[in-house]
């Protein structure tokens, strides 16, 4: 019942602010109920995926941080430390890709002002860290199958490149712990990085792909092969690329 509050019902015209508070309450109630349980239900991953691709009402809320990060343990993704991002932000701070002789305009101020950096969040408190543990060891295979099927469907949809959701890239960033996700993402990274509407989330995705590409599997060999083929002209993007690799 509480999970139903985490799903956006299009038939009900809630104001965003009110609905956000309801979602935050539901997340914290679920966290309190399941904090001692090592095996969480798969429905948590499903509502996380839905909100990540949708309005991100609660997955980006600092008040739901502990609940969200426990769900993300299902993906086994290594997120870049904040120290790396602080160097990466030097390139982003300029914002204007035209400084690197790019034909693309800079990212609009409205988008630039949004908090998009999934990997730039503050460190967890000791109390929060105490409640962070793997929650999906017993359901690892079924969760992975669900995540891969959903993201594969999203990526295979016929749609213009400009219509690719920024939220899709942010979800890919969080799920790069799966080698198949890295393999799917890297094939499109160069196009996304060159698209001014997607540049910032694509930069985060590039860093996540590089940090999680740590196996000798055929998938990761292909990922490395695709990474070294990426060609970027804007100096801002090139600097970020060199930082990642």
Residues 6+ positions from 18 with CB-CB distance below 8 Å: none
Please give the chain's pLDDT, 245 residues, in tens: 678 877 765 444 444 444 688 999 999 999 999 999 999 999 999 999 999 999 999 999 999 999 999 999 999 999 876 555 544 443 444 444 433 333 344 444 444 444 444 444 456 667 667 789 999 999 999 999 999 999 999 998 867 666 678 999 999 999 999 999 999 999 999 999 999 999 999 999 999 999 999 999 999 999 999 999 998 888 888 888 888 87
Radius of gyration of the chain measured on its C-alpha atoms = 18
Domain boundaries, the chain: 1-85+130-244
| Angstrom distance (rounded) from CA 34 to CA 42 | 13
Residue 104 burial (C-beta neighbours within 10 Å; 0-12, 13-18, 19+):
middle
Within 10 Å of residue 84's Cβ, how many Cβ atoms?
A: 16
Nearest to 184 by CA among 214, 220, 159, 234: 220
Q: What is the pLDDT of residue 160?
A: 66
Q: Kindly provide the b/e burial profile for residues 14-23, where b requires at least 16 CB atoms within 10 angstroms of the residue's own CB.
A: eeeeebbeeb
Residue 242: C-alpha distances to residues 49, 72, 88, 146 (Å): 31, 27, 10, 33
């Amino acid at each position: 019942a509480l999970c139903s509050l985490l799903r956006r019902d299009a038939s009900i015209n809630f104001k965003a602010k009110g609905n956000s508070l309801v979602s935050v309450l539901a997340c914290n109630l679920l966290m309190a109920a399941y904090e001692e349980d090592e095996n969480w239900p798969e429905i948590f991953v499903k509502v996380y995926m839905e909100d990540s691709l949708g309005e991100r009402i609660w997955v980006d809320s600092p008040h739901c941080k502990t609940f969200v990060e426990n769900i993300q343990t299902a993906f086994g993704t290594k997120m870049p430390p904040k120290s790396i991002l602080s160097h990466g932000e030097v390139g982003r701070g300029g914002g204007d890709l035209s400084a690197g002789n790019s034909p693309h305009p800079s990212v609009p101020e409205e988008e630039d002002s949004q908090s998009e950096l999934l990997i730039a969040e503050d460190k967890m408190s000791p109390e929060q860290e105490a409640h962070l543990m793997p929650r999906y060891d017993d359901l690892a295979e079924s969760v992975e199958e669900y995540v891969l099927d959903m993201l594969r469907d999203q990526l295979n949809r016929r749609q213009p490149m400009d219509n690719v959701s920024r939220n899709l890239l942010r979800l890919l960033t969080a799920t790069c712990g799966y080698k198949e996700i890295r393999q799917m993402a890297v094939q499109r990274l160069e196009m996304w990085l060159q698209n001014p509407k997607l540049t910032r989330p694509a930069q985060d995705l590039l860093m996540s792909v590089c940090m999680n590409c740590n196996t000798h599997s055929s998938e990761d060999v292909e990922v490395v092969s695709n990474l070294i083929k990426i060609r970027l002209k804007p100096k801002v993007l090139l600097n970020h690329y060199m930082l990642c690799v």
